Amino acid sequence: MDVAEYLQHDGLGLAQLVRQGEVTAAELADCALALAGVWNPRINALVEIFEDVDLDGEPAAADASFAGVPFLIKDLVLQAGGRSSEMGSRLGEGLVAPADSDLMVRFRQAGLVTLGRTTVPEMGYNCATETVACGATRNPWDLSRSPGGSSGGSAAAVAAGIVPVAHANDGGGSIRIPASCCGLVGLKPGRGRVPIGPGAADGLGGLGIEFVLTRTVRDCAAMLDAVQGAGIGDPYVIAPPERPYGESLPIPSGLRIAYTAEPWSGVAVDPEIRAALEATARLLASLGYQVEQVAPALDAERFAQANTDLWSAHIAHWVVDICAATGRSADSSSLEQATLAIYEHGLRLSAVDLLHAEDFFNLVSRDFGHFFTRHDILMTPTVAQLPWAIGEHASTGGAYTARSWTDHVFGDVPFTAVFNVTGQPAISLPLGRSESGLPFGIQFAASHGREDLLLALAARLEQIQPWPQIADQLEFQSRIRS
């Protein structure tokens, strides 16, 4: 197989070729590494390429849904035994995971061949992927712009065509934001759908969700089939789907879709993004769905403070543990300015402060729960602005406090974090394209347990309004295909 043919297939398509004996995992890896050689010097999406990969894959995975498919893991939360896990930070340099986490086991069982690690912002707390440790990761659609964060390295690699699917996670939008910036499918499953253990009971007090980024809806659905379900001892156990997500699912008639382009924080939304949301609302209405412009209420000030406190407490916890593991000190030589401010704020918080944040998040979840008894879907922009310029969200250039950094991070992405709080599934679909050619996403959220509804609607929209599969920079595509 040559690179040109490799780029024509999604993950399921490549796996089918492997099972049919038309191509080997080693040949697919060669294509992925060739693409990485062309793209990575420009986009800086890979922290590390693994030199000792077993290209035969797992013996039990020979007939798996993603047998032999090249894959990358995000350098945050997920543990791959014997591999470095540094969280995009100088503080974590050299840390090695002792064993596979539950999700990594399932990725292996799905047949994926992991070729390396992708870049992240420090501790994952940024809507851009730029660090002192690794530099700036760039968007394949426009190298002057960010791929988003915190799964920015994974998103850039998938958008460039290096791999068809890559690991990602989401504590405030970190799957959906880079999916929007890079023109990808980004599903944040509901709380409890994908395991995060055994090293943690949950991520970020329930905000953090593990999954992947893909280019096609069918890869997204098949991957959810491959990894869904609680791990042993997980605190959240969610009912399994009635039928596989990868099957063609009928969307109920009379689907009730609410939508809004008004962020609860009151920040401005780019006119092109507003226009795309309105166009999608008209499209859905033309398909016979009940479409209404309405949204639940949310106290944006209390939400921002609670988010600041909860993130700060958990990052302080991580930093304390990393310092104990490495013998390093948490200071300006090991942490970026904004991260240091967040860490220090976390140390100052009391247990009561954290419980007050959780109390408020409970109220938000109840209010949104009532809203979703009357509506099946809430549609919003995924982000408020087109992909931002490199440096706009660098965490080293200002004198940030924990709260001012939180406001800065979520200023451009005001629609995503609330669904981490409620635990509901939400997906970003690349339904928008600016006049300058930049992709952006529309977000759809559903009730607890209704990933099936989101994927069915996504598949229908993908069929009606297909999107480009890889970044279409003609100069690079010419080089790659030759």
Report residue 253 as tokens: 């008639």
pLDDT above 70 for 482: no
Q: Is 74 a catalytic residue?
A: yes
Report residue 93 as tokens: 């340099």
Mean pLDDT, the chain, integer: 95
Predicted local distance difference test score (pLDDT) of residue 82: 97
Mean pLDDT of 39-65: 86
pLDDT above 70 for 477: no
pLDDT in tens, 438-476: 999 999 999 999 999 999 999 999 999 999 888 865 445
Predicted local distance difference test score (pLDDT) of residue 409: 94
pLDDT above 80 for 354: yes
pLDDT above 50 for 255: yes
pLDDT above 50 for 269: yes
- Whole-number Å distance between alpha carbons of 463 and 472: 20
- Other beta carbons within 10 angstroms of residue 464's beta carbon come to 11
Predicted local distance difference test score (pLDDT) of residue 59: 59
Predicted local distance difference test score (pLDDT) of residue 56: 66
What element of type H or E holds 362? helix 351-374
Given the residues 151, 154, 174, 428, select the one marked as catalytic: 174
Mean pLDDT of 20-28: 95
pLDDT in tens, 173-220: 999 999 999 999 999 999 999 999 999 988 899 999 999 999 999 999
The helix/strand/coil state of 358 is helix
| Range scoring the smallest mean pLDDT among 37-51, 137-151, 249-263, 451-465 | 249-263
At residue 57 the predicted structure's pLDDT band, cuts being 50, 70 and 90, is low
DSSP tag of 332: T
- Whole-number Å distance between alpha carbons of 323 and 87: 13
Predicted local distance difference test score (pLDDT) of residue 478: 47
Nearest Cα residue to 405 out of 45, 123, 44: 123
pLDDT above 70 for 54: yes
Decide if 78 contacts 37 (C-beta within 8 A). no
Predicted local distance difference test score (pLDDT) of residue 438: 96
- Other beta carbons within 10 angstroms of residue 39's beta carbon come to 25
The helix/strand/coil state of 25 is helix
pLDDT in tens, 74-114: 999 999 999 999 999 999 999 999 999 999 999 999 999 99
Predicted local distance difference test score (pLDDT) of residue 253: 83
Mean pLDDT of 243-261: 89
Q: Which residue has the higher pLDDT, 15 or 58?
A: 15
Predicted local distance difference test score (pLDDT) of residue 63: 86
* Cβ partners under 8 Å of residue 197, min gap 6: 101, 102, 231, 232, 233, 234
Mean pLDDT of 283-294: 97
This prediction's pTM: 0.97
Secondary-structure percent of the chain, ordered helix, strand, coil, rounded to 5 = 40, 15, 45
Given the residues 150, 151, 334, 428, select the one marked as catalytic: 150
- Whole-number Å distance between alpha carbons of 54 and 212: 22
